[in-house]
A and B are shown apart, each in its own frame.
Chain A
């Protein structure tokens, strides 16, 4: 089956630094990738949608300058949390699809900003 690899699985960073999270589709071409954020005991909240070679589309209330998304190839998307602060601590999850033919999720990244 389709596999999405997300790295790192856990990261701790200092307040004010930037963190990059990678999401790779291993055995299919991901025309569209999604980034979600999940706080404890809450559901997944869609942050943004990215199509290969295009600028990401952000959901309302998500700061595009803070959460930089790059989808430069059909197998790789990255999310960079810039100038991270403790309130950015969360579980970040990516998902990938090939034109809506199935959706595969990464295993998530636990970000802790100290």
Chain B
């Protein structure tokens, strides 16, 4: 299973872009990168996922390096409500569709 490495915490200023890095150097060719976030005492919320191309949706952008060994989640204009734990997950390569969570990055957006 490909493991992910994220910084334990980061701060960012409200209104600025937040760039969240993730290393997944052992990722296999057909494994997707998923990003979820969890606001305190709630279930995880889907943000975005990708395979090898960069992706963008209404919440965020996902930049995946050409070698796929790392990726960056970009929140273009962080708000106080974006304060959460952000999880970068590589989907386990199997038929059981497991999603296993690492420690994540605690992001604190400050006014």
Contacts and interface: CB of A to CB of B under 8 A. Distances in A.
B29 interface: no
A107 interface: yes
Interface in B28-77: 34, 36, 38, 41-46
A110 B45 CA distance: 18
B27 to A, nearest CB: 17
A34 B42 CA distance: 16
Interface in A95-113: 95, 97, 99-100, 102-108, 110
A110 B40 CA distance: 12
Given A43-B87, A43-B103, A43-B104, A100 B42 contact: no
B102 A32 contact: no
Contact of A107 (B42, B85, B96): B42
A94 to B, nearest CB: 8
A108 B42 contact: yes
Question: Interface on chain A toward B: helix, strand, loop, or mixed SS?
Answer: strand
B46 A104 contact: yes
A93 B36 CA distance: 14
Given A44-B101, A49-B98, A105 B45 contact: yes
Given A43-B101, A44-B44, 5 more contacts: A46-B101, A49-B98, A93-B43, A93-B44, A108-B42
Interface of B: 34, 36, 38, 41-46, 85, 87, 91, 96-104
Interface of A: 4, 6, 32, 34, 36, 43-46, 49, 51, 57, 91, 93, 95, 97, 99-100, 102-108, 110
11 contacts: A4-B43, A44-B101, A45-B101, A49-B98, A51-B96, A93-B44, A95-B44, A103-B34, A103-B99, A105-B43, A108-B41
